[in-house]
Amino acid sequence: MGDSPAMTIGEAARVTGVGIHTLRYYEKQDLLRVPRTANGQRRFGPSELASVRFIAQLRKTGMPIGTIREYAEMVRSGTATADASLQLLENHRDDVLRHLDEQKRYLTAIRLKIAAYRAEIQPDEPAGDGAPT
Amino acid sequence: MGDSPAMTIGEAARVTGVGIHTLRYYEKQDLLRVPRTANGQRRFGPSELASVRFIAQLRKTGMPIGTIREYAEMVRSGTATADASLQLLENHRDDVLRHLDEQKRYLTAIRLKIAAYRAEIQPDEPAGDGAPT
DNA sequence: CCTTGACCTAGACCGCGCTCTAGGGTCGAT
DNA sequence: ATCGACCCTAGAGCGCGGTCTAGGTCAAGG
Q: Reduced to 3 states, what is the DSSP secondary structure of residue B76?
A: helix
The two counts, helices (H) then strands (E), for chain B are 5, 0
pLDDT one-digit tens code per residue, A65-96? 999 999 999 999 988 888 999 999 999 999 99
Which residues, in sequence order, are bridge partners of residue A7?
A44
Chain A CB contacts of B72 under 8 Å are none
Q: What is the pLDDT of residue B2?
A: 43
Model confidence pTM above 0.85: yes
Residue A2 has pLDDT above 60, yes or no: no
With CA of B20 and C1' of each nucleotide, the nearest comes out as: D19
* Range B16-44 average pLDDT: 97
Q: What is the share, in percent, of chain B residues with pLDDT greater than 90? A: 80
**Would you call A117 and B57 a contact, using CB atoms and an 8 Å cutoff?**
no
**Would you call B86 and A60 a contact, using CB atoms and an 8 Å cutoff?**
no
Residue in B55, B2, B47 with CA at minimum distance from that of residue B25? B55
**Partner A contacted by B131 (CB < 8 A):** yes
**Partner A contacted by B83 (CB < 8 A):** yes
Q: What is the share, in percent, of chain B residues with pLDDT greater than 70? A: 89
Mutate one of A59, A86, A88, A125 to test the B interface: name it (highest B CB count within 10 A).
Answer: A86
Q: Which residue of A has its CA nearest to B78?
A: A121
pLDDT one-digit tens code per residue, A11-59? 999 999 999 999 999 999 999 999 999 999 999 999 999 999 999 999 9
d(CA A132, CA B90): 9
Residue in B56, B57, B54, B62 with CA at minimum distance from that of residue B96? B62
Residue B128 has pLDDT above 80, yes or no: no
**Would you call B107 and A121 a contact, using CB atoms and an 8 Å cutoff?**
no
Which residues, in sequence order, are bridge partners of residue A44?
A7
Mutate one of B53, B71, B75, B90 to test the A interface: name it (highest A CB count within 10 A).
Answer: B90
List, in order, residues 6 or more apart from A90 with CB less than 8 Å away. B114, B131
Distance in angstroms: CA A9, C1' D5: 14
Residue A1 has pLDDT above 70, yes or no: no
Mean pLDDT of chain B: 91
Q: What is the pLDDT of residue A128?
A: 53
Q: Reduced to 3 states, what is the DSSP secondary structure of residue B125?
A: coil
- For B104, which of A82, A100, A121 is closest by C-beta distance? A100
d(CA A65, CA B131): 26
Residue in B87, B92, B98 with CA at minimum distance from that of residue A117? B87
d(CA B9, CA B37): 12
Phi (first) and psi of residue A36, to 5 degrees:
-125, 155
Q: Which pLDDT band holds residue B1 (cuts at 50, 70, 90)?
A: very low
List, in order, residues 6 or more apart from A114 with CB less than 8 Å away. A133, B86, B89, B90, B93
The identity of residue B53, as a single letter, is: R
What angle is formed at CA A116 by the lines to CA A115 and CA A122, rounded to 5 degrees?
Answer: 85
Distance in angstroms: CA B47, C1' D13: 41
Strand D and B79 CB separated by under 7 Å:
no
pLDDT one-digit tens code per residue, B72-115? 999 999 888 889 999 999 999 999 999 999 999 999 999 999 99
